[in-house]
């Protein structure tokens, strides 16, 4: 069975500061990992995903995430937060030939001016 844990339901950073959103997963087989962002009153948009290959994945809007198998983690980072980054972020996991995506409970990012 798969599961996803996102530490911190709310994270607050100042504009220009580092953004770090944590995601840990459990999976019995190599996973596929995703980060989605949800802006207020909108659906979810893909930020980035890891399937195979390079473990550092770059996504849209300056976000990146690193797959660390030894730590079963896929933390999302951005060097410098922007006000427009305020949203809810969801980590998700699936596996090859498995049709269910498991989502974490989400982390709401607040960016202070």
Partner 1 sequence: GAGVSQSPSNKVTEKGKDVELRCDPISGHTALYWYRQSLGQGLEFLIYFQGNSAPDKSGLPSDRFSAERTGGSVSTLTIQRTQQEDSAVYLCASSFDFGSGNTIYFGEGSWLTVV
Question: Does residue 94 interact with partner 1 by CB under 8 A?
Answer: yes
- For 98, residues 6+ apart whose C-beta sits below 8 A from its C-beta are none
74 Cβ contact list (under 8 Å, min separation 6): 23, 24, 25, 33, 35, 50, 65, 66, 67, 68, 91
Determine which residue in the list 28, 40, 70, 99 makes contact with partner 1, applying CB under 8 A: 99
Which tokens belong to 41?
A: 């009153």
Is 102 a binder of partner 1 (CB under 8 A)? yes
Among 25, 35, 36, 74, binds partner 1 (CB under 8 A): 36
Tell me if 7 contacts partner 1 by CB under 8 A. no
CB of 65 to partner 1, least distance (A): 14
Residues forming a β-bridge with 108: 10, 88
User: Which residues here bind partner 1, judged by CB under 8 A?
Assistant: 32, 34, 36, 41-46, 49, 51-52, 90, 94-106
């Amino acid at each position: 069975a798969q599961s996803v844990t996102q530490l911190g339901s709310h994270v607050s950073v100042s504009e220009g500061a580092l953004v770090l959103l944590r995601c840990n997963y459990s999976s019995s087989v190599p996973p596929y990992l995703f980060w989605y962002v949800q802006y207020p009153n909108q659906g979810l948009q893909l930020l980035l995903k890891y399937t195979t290959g390079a473990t550092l994945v770059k996504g849209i809007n300056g976000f990146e995430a690193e797959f660390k198998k030894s730590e079963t983690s896929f933390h999302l980072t951005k060097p410098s937060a922007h006000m427009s980054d305020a949203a809810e972020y969801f980590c998700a996991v699936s596996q090859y030939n498995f049709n269910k995506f498991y989502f974490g409970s989400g982390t709401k990012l607040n960016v202070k001016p």
